[in-house]
Chains A and B, each alone.
Chain A
Amino acid sequence: MQSFRYLNNVTTLQLDVEKCIGCGMCEIVCPHTVFKVENPKARIADRDACMECGACAANCPTAAISVTPGVGCASYIIQTWIKGKDAIIECC
């Protein structure tokens, strides 16, 4: 996926290294190789490759990762603008 890069400096991804236990789960679930686990902890190796899918945060056993997950889809976002964030939205 190195051939496809999206906008830089937009992701909401945060890693709290203090909480990390280095289990490597984030490295496994990330489809864009954002994390690298080097003894003993994870680090964000490629922040701008993050697409905010939320897989890492959902599977981090110590809640060391936070990200605002969502659907990166224009028509979905337009509907959230119109109907509000909590509305039931048909999309994709």
Chain B
Amino acid sequence: MQNLFVNKHDADAGNTACCSSKDQGKDSVPVLQPLDLPIGVPADDDAPCCGPKPGPPSSPYDKPGYRMWHFVADFVETPVGAIPEIETNLKLRDLAGTVRTRLGISRDRYRVAPGLYSVGKPGSDSPVLVTANYKLSFDSLRQELASIDAWILVLDTHGINVWCAAGKKTFSSEEVIRQVHRVGLDRVVSHRKLILPQLGAPGVSAQAVKKGCGFKVTWGPIRARDLQKFITNGGKAETKMRQLTFSIGERIVLIPVELSLIVKPSLVILLAVFVLSGISPDIFSFSAAWFRGLNGAAAYLFGVLAGAVFVPILLPWLPMRQFYIKGILAGLVAGIFVSLSLGGNITRLESLTLLLITTAVSSYAAMNFTGATPFTSPSGVEKEMRQGIPIQIIAVSTAIIAWVAAPFVS
């Protein structure tokens, strides 16, 4: 049987580099490292033993137990070892990963390994860009670096984006210092400068980093797409590059994750709605549980729709600054729509109750969107919650009592 992975001629020649022990001392430890061996390509006259010809051999940089990311184009040898050179164009599977993550699927596991990467052909004087190990952050950085030669230092932010990680202190001075030391950055570059994304500033103190590893922090622009201009300008950011935006597109992409967080509690709530709907003068009615339950569920789901979908989209156009009030307003409109749609099938009391449910749910869901915005202060959120939550609790309690009482009243 022909060995598929060792060329026949090499085998015949009693190939020296790999398996022969002639040049190796008895005590030498075999070290796995890239070797320029003539391995791999089957000869033309090799008959395929089963199926078509085999694909290319493994990369010399492959390691047991690891799988190479598709975005690794090559490796560059540096004084600290081989550093992956990454591609700057996103592939279909990156986009698929983005969509999956935006839907909230396996979001907490969408990460790349912390450490040093390279893009383009960087040298010892090339800039070092620091980012988080959330793959969405990593992708949004590398796709903007098409014409830049740079090193990328990825921090271990536990798979969290730069801004949230800075808030949670995983994107921190200590982590920057740790990674600089861990990868041996001072042996890779001759300068002592790091470019950090501005949104990492809540977690990182430039003075602490300088003190801890000797590298000077330059605060880069908020968005990776401004990096090119920032670097060309010699590390100067225009005012616009330093200001947050929250455009309609930026708001819409957040909606699916918000909804995915609501799914689990919603299942419990919907179950409760169906059970409560069945309570009747005959103790419990399954038909009421189903038909009244559907009405209650519709009111709940429209509340979610209003608070977690319409409020984010319409955010700047809804009156008032408190999110719970924006939610009430959107919820009233949605609730009136629900009541009108169900029309003559329900009593006036039930109709008002459903309106109350939709409004309260919408108010709560809208209030929760504060966590996804880049402009709400914790002091402000706490203040509006002290007003909003009592109102929501009263509304929901009243609605539950009225909904259960309705069959007894009519």
Instruction: Report how far A6 CA is from B379 CA in the complex, Å.
Output: 11
With an 8 Å Cβ cutoff, the count of chain B residues facing the other chain is 45
From B5-13, B135-143, B238-246, give the one contacting chain A: B238-246
- Give B132-156 interface residues, CB cut-off 8 Å to A: none
Interface SS, B side: helix
From A14-22, A37-45, A70-78, give the one contacting chain B: A70-78
Residues of the B chain whose Cβ atoms lie less than 8 Å from the Cβ of A52: 377-379
Shortest Cβ distance from residue B13 to the other chain A in the assembled complex, whole angstroms: 61
- Give A13-34 interface residues, CB cut-off 8 Å to B: 25, 28-33
Q: Encode contact with A along B230-272: 1 for CB under 8 Å, 0 otherwise.
A: 0000000101001111100000000000000000000000000
Q: Encode contact with A along B367-410: 1 for CB under 8 Å, 0 otherwise.
A: 11011111111111111110001000000000000000000000
With an 8 Å Cβ cutoff, the count of chain A residues facing the other chain is 40
Tell whether, in the assembled complex, residue B371 and residue A31 are in contact, meaning their CB atoms are under 8 Å apart. Answer: no
Tell whether, in the assembled complex, residue A58 and residue B201 are in contact, meaning their CB atoms are under 8 Å apart. Answer: yes
Q: Is A11 an interface residue (CB 8 A)?
A: yes
List residues of A whose CB falls within 8 A of some B CB: 1, 3-7, 10-12, 25, 28-33, 49-56, 58-59, 61, 68-78, 91-92
B379 contacts which of A68, A74, A78 (Cβ < 8 Å)? A68
Highest count of chain B CB atoms <10 Å: which of A1, A28, A58, A69: A58
Tell whether, in the assembled complex, residue A10 and residue B202 are in contact, meaning their CB atoms are under 8 Å apart. Answer: no
Residues of the A chain whose Cβ atoms lie less than 8 Å from the Cβ of B375: 1, 4-6, 32, 49, 51
Q: Encode contact with A along B168-206: 1 for CB under 8 Å, 0 otherwise.
A: 000000000000000000000000000000110111111
Q: Is B78 an interface residue (CB 8 A)?
A: no
Tell whether, in the assembled complex, residue A6 and residue B380 are in contact, meaning their CB atoms are under 8 Å apart. Answer: yes
Tell whether, in the assembled complex, residue B164 and residue A92 are in contact, meaning their CB atoms are under 8 Å apart. Answer: yes
Tell whether, in the assembled complex, residue B380 and residue A10 are in contact, meaning their CB atoms are under 8 Å apart. Answer: yes
B384 contacts which of A7, A49, A54, A59 (Cβ < 8 Å)? A7
Interface SS, A side: loop
Shortest Cβ distance from residue B384 to the other chain A in the assembled complex, whole angstroms: 7
Tell whether, in the assembled complex, residue B243 and residue A71 are in contact, meaning their CB atoms are under 8 Å apart. Answer: no
Nearest 4 pairs of A and B residues by beta carbon: A73-B371, A55-B201, A70-B378, A29-B201
Tell whether, in the assembled complex, residue B242 and residue A72 are in contact, meaning their CB atoms are under 8 Å apart. Answer: no
Shortest Cβ distance from residue A16 to the other chain B in the assembled complex, whole angstroms: 17
Tell whether, in the assembled complex, residue B201 and residue A33 are in contact, meaning their CB atoms are under 8 Å apart. Answer: no
Residues of the A chain whose Cβ atoms lie less than 8 Å from the Cβ of B370: 72-74
Indicate whether A77 sits within 8 Å of B378 (C-beta atoms), given known contacts A1-B245, A29-B201. yes
